[in-house]
Structure 1
């Protein structure tokens, strides 16, 4: 129940974007910041959320995260300009990111492997169903209550907070330290990258994109140097160099980028075909059905130890085709089919890619690895809309072709690295890294 609002926070506002633009007096491409800000906040909070949960305990961190998400959502719903809406969404996204990490950590700490696979499949079903239904929810709310109501939907997570806290372990390690420098560098790198993608349509001075390029390069260089000097800091060297972790994260990033890129542009494509706001929600509803079916199916596939790289390569290709379909044949039925196809890759990234992270690192590093891995995935959720928004100023065909190129990059990564569905393991709980190095 807590996982669903994170996806509704993307799906519902995406339908409202065509209404937000004239209401606030901005271009449609500028409203893509509303989607990207949430994903960016969530991505930035995930690595930090894992460390804070170790120090404060899952229960406390979860409570603070949900309240933060609710406050940010209400702030976005009541803001009077685009800057206020984006700021509220960014703050809400920070809470959402920490909350997602707490959900995954709770699953990891309380269930065995079979239970974890089933639980991850359930979470994927909830998120993809909420994301697909979010279009209908957004359409209904926008049609009857206005676009501001869609921004406040994530605050509904407060209803599930008390029962969720009862299920959450409360152990804490007060001696756990947080590497503030590493956290800041990683956050700056993510923010600069997203801002750079948006700069083409944000009506910023020409010097700003060059400045963002410089900041991105400096932040990346400084982060690499920091990791070398502090191998056990916020970005542990043993985690980022774990065989299969970064390649899996890149593939997941491209699948998230493809899905959110298609989802964020679909309402505008349908609006140009004179489809009503409510009609947009109904047309995109089949994506929710795909989410319900895909999660359990992928969990069953993973249990059978099928080659993961073949699956992710296929999913990347399907996502790329979906983006091209939506961009070059924007018929309502085609756009709806494209969103449904892209949903499959989104669900797969959560079930089979997130689920294998714990097998790639030592038990003590699992919380940190989960945070960094999900940071990469949700960065894709920000990069997809940012890329689509930036290129949509030229044409929607070019925007979705760019999204398709990102998805195909995931396919190429899958083929070149030969991802494995699950590392072979001995009787211990440590990963057999020697078998992973091929």
Structure 2
């Protein structure tokens, strides 16, 4: 199959099937990122294990997910994006069955790790499959639909996990994926068009260096909360990861067919959207991690009740993201994303000002709504902006880079905000919890404000539509000249 730059305009049915199938598959992957958070107390009662083991049920998914995104994107470019995407669906479905059948925390952690590895193929390749199938003038709206589903899955994870755990069993969190996977897999193989990137051979050395370097950095981040940021093992992880990533950059600058063409970062648009994604996910994931606990531990709601009360936040992407995606097609992504990030910052600031052990839920609803609208306004254009910032032949690896930035940002946000919380508060009383929550939320506000400032660095032209084809597929500079 030829490069997507030469792909003909797809029939409408292909566009519809692509959106349906990629959204369904990525919904599974995104949902399972946070779905276990509200089920952890029940899992501990059933399987045993200490606090560190419970944390690894979450981190066991995050680590391979973050570290294998570039590798999976490169495999898709080389061997076929539909083939690798379908393999990810099959592996994710099998791993979900393994997680549902797990009889110990070790078995559950292992199954979660396989889930994370499979998800690394689903998320980035979904974006490149959409880019290949959808006409350029409609990609903003298409990514808006994808963003709505993805945002709903991420923010709705605690609700789904809490509801299923409360009324069925934690095992059904994972059994839920099986019928979805079995339905989606044959349709992916028969309904989606195949596409490949310009890569002729896999950069094995670059893949190993990038994956190992990301593993060191992300592992250090997720261990920092447990062991402290200055612990020897944490600092060693950061140091080793940094050395390996430096070696990766050196290798990529010299190899004729790199895993990550460094010329992509000559595009201000590409650099800005990735920095923005990292900071936004840091603020969002860290805040959700603490606010779901606040609703349960301080306000006294059950897991399901807490999830229901977050609906003013979690339901917004389904309403706002498609509208924001269509708006991106008209005015470009920069003003939409910047406005969304500022709305999220205002919402987080509202939480920080209003937080109190005796707070009423009604007083939190406006903040939930602001955060939901802002999150939807980020998700809708960001995929189109990441894809439009590079030549079409490089969209696979660009998607992997963008999703790696998001995952590293999410892990960093949870670790940083949890550390701020632990330094200023704790779980001994409602007041102590609030004392830690408030400064952590202000850190999230700062991250979101900085991310909004970064996105204004994006060039006025080239903020949401695909770049024109370039004679050099590694030259990302034309993306900065795309009309907005």
Same fold (TM over 0.5): yes
Tell me by how many angstroms 1:290 deviates: 0.3
| Alpha-carbon distance in 1 for matches of 2:467, 2:80 | 29
User: 2:61 — aligned with what?
Assistant: 38
**Cα distance change of structure 1 residues 223 and 427 upon mapping to structure 2, 3 Å threshold:** closer
- Whether 2:94 is the aligned partner of 1:65: answer no
Question: Is contact 1:259–1:343 with CA below 8 Å preserved after alignment?
Answer: no
Cα distance change, pair 355–215 in 1 and its aligned pair in 2 (3 A)? same
2:98·2:108 contact (CA, 8 Å) conserved in 1?
Answer: yes
Offset, 1:92: 0.6
Match of 1:162 in 2: 186
Structure 1 gap ranges (5+): none
Quick check: 1:432 aligned with 2:458?
no
Contact 1:46 1:372 in 2 (8 A): yes
Tell me the equivalent position of 2:429.
none
Partner of 1:240: 265
> Structure 1 CA distance, aligned partners of 2:418 and 2:174?
19
> 3-state DSSP class of the match of 1:54?
helix
Describe the SS at the equivalent of 1:281: helix
* Deviation (angstroms), 1:363: 2.6
Of 387, 404, 409, 2:450 maps to 409
Deviation at 1:336, TM superposition (A): 5.8
Q: Report whether the alignment pairs 1:118 with 2:134.
A: no
* 1:327 Cα offset (Å): 5.3
Tell me, yes or no, if structure 1 residue 355 matches structure 2 residue 384.
yes
* Match of residue 283 from structure 2: 258
Separation (CA, whole Å) in 1 of partners of 2:441 and 2:187: 41
- Structure-2 residue corresponding to 1:299: 325
Whether the 8 Å contact between 2:76 and 2:125 is mirrored in structure 1 is: yes
Within the alignment, does 1:227 sit opposite 2:252 as a pair? Answer: yes
Aligned residue among 396, 412, 421 for 1:383: 412
**TM-score, normalization by structure 1:** 0.86
TM-score of the two chains, using structure 2 as the length reference: 0.79
Which region of structure 1 is more displaced relative to structure 2, 34-43 or 359-368?
A: 34-43
Contact 1:309 1:421 in 2 (8 A): no
| Contact 2:349-2:445 at 8 Å conserved across structures | yes
Q: Which stretch of the first structure deviates more once superposed, 251-260 or 342-351? A: 342-351
Q: Is the 8 A contact 1:11 1:263 kept in 2?
A: no
Distance 2:211 2:352 in 1: 32
Please give the per-residue CA displacement for 1:345-380, whole angstroms capped at 9, x wherever unaligned.
Answer: 443343212102333222322222222222212332
SS of the residue 1:235 aligns to: coil
Structure 2 CA distance for partners of 1:427 and 1:284, relative to 1, 3 Å: closer
Quote the residue 1:216 is aligned against: 241
Q: Distance in 1 between matches of 2:138 and 2:276?
A: 25
Q: Distance in 2 between matches of 1:275 and 1:317?
A: 29
**Partner in structure 1 of residue 10 of structure 2:** none
Q: 1:177 aligns with which of 201, 220, 245?
A: 201
Q: How big is the alpha-carbon RMSD for the aligned residues of Structure 1 and Structure 2?
A: 3.2
Deviations 1:115-149 (A, max 9, x none): 32222111122222334443332222111233343
Q: Deviations over 1:358-408 (max 9, x none)?
A: 332223222222222222123323333333344443334244343333323
In 2: Cα distance, 1:89 partner to 1:337 partner: 35
For structure 2, list consecutive stretches of 5 or more residues without a partner in the other structure: 1-23, 426-435, 471-476
Partner of 2:157: 134
Deviation at 1:242, TM superposition (A): 2.6
- CA drift at 1:191: 2.3
Q: Using the TM superposition, give the Cα deviation of residue 33 of structure 1 relative to its aligned residue in structure 2, in angstroms.
A: 4.2
Structure 1 segment 285-324 matched on structure 2, within 5 A: 285-306=311-332, 308-324=333-349
Greater Cα shift, 81-90 or 93-102:
81-90
- 1:275 is paired with a residue of what secondary structure? coil
Number of corresponding residues: 433
CA distance in 2, matches of 1:391, 1:315: 25
